[in-house]
A and B are shown apart, each in its own frame.
Chain A
Amino acid sequence: MRLEWRINGEGRSADIRPADLLLDVLRESFGLTGAKPGCRNGDCGACTVMANGLPMKSCLMLAVEAAGQDIVTIEGLANAPAQRAFIEMFAFQCGYCTPGFILNVHALSLAHPQADEATVRSWLQSNICRCTSYEEIREAVYSVLGSARGTIDATNG
């Protein structure tokens, strides 16, 4: 079936199977390989994109479900605050989880520019980073959010 999406601000269309996942269509039909398969089970968040402004795991979404939606992949961000912050704070190493993390943080910063600690934690726990300690990512998130960054709370269980 032929479907259309708005991807990174451009109208795009492709012939797909209804069984195709958004993740695979982005990668295979549009070459947007910044969306990474990490588990294909909704557990790791490496494939996170934005769909109509919300972070979505593109491995948990049929491409047909997203038809007509406004999709933003990492390739659609240019010099976004989250991208700059991740570089400055050394918030990645291997870089594989990074597009998913950045899109989640970008969406968070748009939805909750003054997000509190609980909201940040809830959103950021959707992604797994296996290289960093998460402290670097925390620094990056708070530098983007611009809210007064709490002191590092040693009791944050």
Chain B
Amino acid sequence: METIGQSVPKKESPDKVSGAAMYTADRIEARMLHARYVISPYAHARIAGVDAAEASRMPGVRAIVTGQDSDVLTGEELRDRPVIARDRVRYQGEIVAVVVADTEAQAKGAADAVRVRYEPLPVVHSPAAALRPDAPILHERLGEYVRGAGVIPIPGTNVASVIRIAKGDMEQGWAESEIVVDNRVTFGPSDHAAMETRSAICEIRPDGHIVIESSTQVPFAVKKYIASYFGIDSGFIIVKTPFVGGAYGGKTAIHLEPIAYLASRAVGGRKVKLVNTREEDMVTSPGRIGLDAVVRLGSTRDGRIQAAQILYHFDGGAYNDKSSDVARAAAADCSGPYAIRNLHCECLTVYTNHTFPAAFRGYGHSELTMAMERAIDKLADTLGMDPWDVRMINSIKPGDIAPTRDRLTRSNLGDIQTCLRRLKELSDWESSFSRVDDYKVRATGISCFWKNSSIDSDAGSGAILLFNPDGSVNLETGVVEIGTGTKTVLAQMVAERFGMSVDRVHVKFAVNTLDTPEHWKTVASRGTFMAGRAALKAADDAIRQLKDIAAAVLKVVPEDLAIGGEKVFLRDDPSLSIPVKDICYGYKYPNGHAIGGQIIGRGVYIQRRIEPLNPLTGEGTPGPEWGVGAQAVEIELDLRDCSYRLLRSISVIDAGRVLNLKGALGQVMGASAMGLSYASREAFYYNADGQVLDPTLRDYTLMRYGENPAYTVEFIENPCLEAPFGARALGEHGLIGMPAALASAVSRAAGVRLNVLPLFPETVWRARNGGEGTS
């Protein structure tokens, strides 16, 4: 029976519609203590003193933890962030103290009574300000921080990391260019705004095991880094993750877990629960990176791009976390899906007094795409060419060389040309601009994208299959179920391999690092690829074992056997068979003798021949495959106040192979919605002191029901030969082109080139009146 491709509803559906699905903060225990933060109101200040005397005497208070309790510095790429601020705060919302009390209300009351004396320092508001010669230096000890190989900081400046891509011969490229255009785009930080705020619970058991329950995408990384930060053997650390209520990259940062550990340690190991308020989730925990980018394109008069010079200044916030790696991913794909022989990119990750960024769906790619696509629109305008034609002419093909010097093939690239052609039809491109009445204009904008899901070269995944006495099978993997339905897709793969009904594959949702095989991180749309490879290998392992037992029972050789319909049968004569349920716990002969034993299938996968990027040249192999696609957004704009409605969103994406149609459509549509929401309305507003003015979902507004456009999503299928069933990554891609396509549509409608996000009507109006937002 064919399971792959079917719209199998998510296996956890009954739990999620009935309230039975448990998330971290749903753990409620009477003896658990509760923690609340004291956070800095200043974006940049020296901590002159923390007076917790009064607070510590308040009822129910069990401990108050401050920066003085730990000198550990954390950070995956660059260890620059104290668990709790010690002498200085570098962003508004940074945690200065943590109060542990019997109830949350007591903890909050006491947190309000902690007196912190601050001496305000000058605030760095943007990458541009951070790079000025007289800018305050945010990390004086930058040169001393422990760092990963890909991070190249410049001590004495606010540059946390520099990456360069240098391909081809720029001089020649400019010489062959008849037209040169420059375009600058800027946008500030925004937020993931997952509906579940981040939370963590920690206890230290009498035997020394540290048990952390956390709403994280990366339980195995939490285990590894807590071990490393605090010098504990990793075997003593157990991380559990139940369902996660939305993540989008925001729950990759290891942020609350070390705090919960310090809090539990301060109360003798008792279980302490920590749940972010929405405001803390927005300003204290990380958000999405900001960017200031300049793209210079050189082209012939017929629109062939000869050279591209790209400058990225990423707003790395107060601490590095993953920002330099987001920047690295953007630099590696900086050309977009275009064949540009002569390419130079300088990519700086710059410290500012903003909240530190985490990964965000797309991992630098909606950012690089906005920069490149806006430049291509400008080039098309300058050349007087159709922007679709400019994209098609320059689109990248098998045989071309990526910025990383990878040679592209149909398997590792996909087919952007077919996506573009189909987009042209679906979007009625020939009538992509029209006047509705005296004031209203309709316009469509387009964008292309590509994304390589680049992760650590030794990242891996594992799967275990355990049979039940009824012949059904249990699937366990380390993928966190964050809403993508990955575990259902993995069950489909297993069912397909066994030739059984997906209803007979039971899935374990919660991850427990004590007994769940590691899945590196639930990030980068790698669940179906890596865990899929592992699950298929586990299925093959189980099939081999089943055939061995069946061969003995049926008195044939295993090679002559096949499996399907929960039976092992002779390929030649399926009537000679034995049910799986009769052999999956061993086979018992009539005389009582038994052979075999419980079938336990195991499979692991580790990435193959991935090479980290050389930060000076950009050479490397970031990941096994790119995902490509083309997107369009149609809007209707009122020229008077520049308000606009989203009419249509169209995506054509090379899926490789669609594994679960409705699931795949949902991933693309949901990602597109997120891209449109942040491009049209999401941004943090900072005042002159660097304080966020809109840290609630009331003022930081998200798209709501009925504001969405109509969605058209089409998949083309060019398999990636390395991927399970040929499926390419899909979880992030629907987002990537949306901001650029929206900016293009609004620019065309308003008749002004827009290069900032978000595109509030006032922003557009101001641009039309010659203000900022233009180029």
A binds B: yes
Q: Which of A's residues lie within 8 Å of B, judged by CB? A: 17, 19, 27-28, 31-44, 46, 73-75, 77-78, 83, 86-88, 90, 92-99, 102, 121, 124-125, 127-138, 152-157
Partner-binding segment picked from B17-25, B160-168, B363-371: B17-25
Residue ID in chain A nearest B195 by CB atoms: A96
Most chain B CB within a 10 A radius of its CB, from A42, A46, A93: A93
Instruction: Name the one of A31, A34, A36 contacting B196, with C-beta atoms under 8 angstroms.
Output: A36
Q: Is the CB of A133 within 8 A of B669?
A: yes
A46 vs B21: C-alpha distance when bound (angstroms): 14
Query: Which residues from chain A contact B483 at a C-beta distance below 8 Å?
Result: 92-95, 131
A77 neighbours in B (Cβ, 8 Å): 18
The CB with the most chain B CB atoms within 10 A, among A28, A43, A73, A127, is that of A43
Residues in chain B near residue A44, CB distance under 8 A:
195, 278, 697
Does B16 lie within 8 Å of A92, measured CB to CB?
yes
Q: CB-nearest residue of chain B relative to A86?
A: B17
Apart from the given pairs A43-B698, A88-B9, 8 other A-B contacts in the complex at a CB distance below 8 Å:
A35-B19, A43-B278, A87-B14, A94-B483, A95-B245, A124-B706, A128-B704, A134-B704
Stretch at the interface among B119-127, B203-211, B589-597, B708-716: B708-716
Which single member of A17, A27, A130 contacts B702 (CB below 8 Å)?
Answer: A130
Inter-chain CA distance A66–B15, complex, in Å, is 27
C-alpha gap A138/B247 in the complex (Å) = 23
Whether A90 and B196, one on each chain, are in contact in the complex, defined by CB atoms closer than 8 angstroms, is no
Indicate which residue in B9, B666, B696, B709 contacts A41 across the interface (CB closer than 8 Å): B696
Given A90-B7, A130-B702, A133-B711, A83-B18 contact (CB < 8 Å) = yes
In the complex, which residues of chain A have a beta carbon less than 8 angstroms from the beta carbon of B13?
A: 86-87
Known A-B contacts A43-B696, A94-B195, A157-B645; A133 and B702 likewise in contact (beta carbons under 8 Å) = no
Q: Is B339 located at the chain interface by the 8 A CB criterion?
A: no
Stretch at the interface among B341-349, B445-453, B670-678: B670-678
Give chain A nearest CB distance to B661 CB in angstroms. Answer: 10
Please provide the chain B residues from 462 to 512 with a CB less than 8 Å away from any CB of chain A in the complex. Answer: 482-485
Query: Chain A residues near B703 (CB, 8 Å)?
Result: 134
Set A38, A75, A92: member contacting B278, Cβ < 8 A = A38
Instruction: List, sorted by A's number, 14 A–B pairs whose CB atoms are closer than 8 Å.
Output: A34-B18, A39-B696, A39-B698, A77-B18, A78-B18, A83-B18, A93-B485, A96-B195, A96-B245, A124-B706, A131-B483, A132-B669, A136-B666, A157-B707
Q: Which residue of B lies closest to A100 (CB)?
A: B195
* In the complex, chain B residues whose CB is within 8 Å of the CB of A73: 19
Q: Knowing A96-B196, A156-B706 are in contact, say whether A131-B647 is a contact too (CB < 8 A).
A: no
Distance in angstroms between the alpha carbons of A74 and B564 in the assembled complex = 39
For A130, the chain B residues whose CB sits under 8 A away are 193-195, 246, 248, 674, 702
- Give the chain A neighbours of B105 by CB distance below 8 A: 17, 19
Please list the residues of chain B having a beta carbon within 8 angstroms of any beta carbon in chain A: 7, 9-10, 12-23, 25-26, 28, 105, 193-197, 243-248, 275, 277-278, 482-485, 636, 645-648, 662-663, 665-666, 669-670, 672-674, 696-698, 702-711
B residues less than 8 Å from A31 (CB atoms): 28
Q: CB distance A93 to B647 under 8 Å?
A: no
Shortest CB-to-CB span from B659 to chain A, Å, is: 14
Count A-B contacts at CB 8 Å: 181
B residues near A94, Cβ cutoff 8 Å: 194-196, 243-247, 482-483
Quick one: given A38-B196, A132-B666, A135-B669, are A125 and B28 in contact (CB under 8 Å)? no
Contact in complex: A134, B708 (CB < 8 Å): yes
Specify which chain B residues have a CB less than 8 angstroms from the CB of A38 in the assembled complex: 195-197, 278, 697
Closest to B674 in A: A130
Is the pair B647, A154 in contact by a Cβ cutoff of 8 Å? yes
A95 near B243 (CB under 8 angstroms)?
yes
Max count, chain B CB within 10 A of own CB: residue among A31, A35, A92, A99:
A92
Contacts of B277 in A (CB 8 A): 40
In the complex, the answer to whether B706 meets A125 with C-beta atoms within 8 Å is yes
Q: From B199, which residue of chain A is reached at the shortest CB distance?
A: A37
- Least Cβ–Cβ distance between A102 and chain B, in angstroms: 6
- In the assembled complex, the Cα of A98 lies from the Cα of B7 at a distance in Å of 20
Which residues of chain B are near A32, meaning CB under 8 Å?
Answer: 19
With a cutoff of 8 Å between Cβ atoms, the chain A residues found around residue B697 in the complex are: 38-39, 41, 43-44, 128
Is A95 within 8 A of B21, CB to CB? yes
Which residues of chain A are near B702, meaning CB under 8 Å? Answer: 128, 130
Q: Are A75 and B19 in contact (CB under 8 A)?
A: yes
Given the contacts A133-B708, A137-B705, A90 and B482 also touching, CB distance less than 8 Å: no
A92 to B277, CA, bound (A): 23
Determine the chain A residues whose CB is within 8 A of the CB of B10 once the complex forms: 87, 90, 93
Residue ID in chain B nearest A87 by CB atoms: B13
CB-CB < 8 A to A127: which residues of B?
A: 704-705
| Complex contact B704–A125 (CB within 8 A) | yes
- Write the nearest CB–CB distance from B491 to chain A, whole angstroms: 16
Q: How far is the CA of A27 from the CA of B645 in the complex (A)?
A: 39
Shortest CB–CB separation between residue A76 and chain B, in angstroms?
9
- With a cutoff of 8 Å between Cβ atoms, the chain A residues found around residue B196 in the complex are 36, 38, 94, 96
Q: A83-B17, A134-B673, A155-B645 are in contact. Are A41 and B698 (CB under 8 A)?
A: yes
B22, closest chain A residue (CB): A33
A87 CA to B15 CA in the complex, in Å?
10
In angstroms, Cα B196 to Cα A94, docked, is: 9
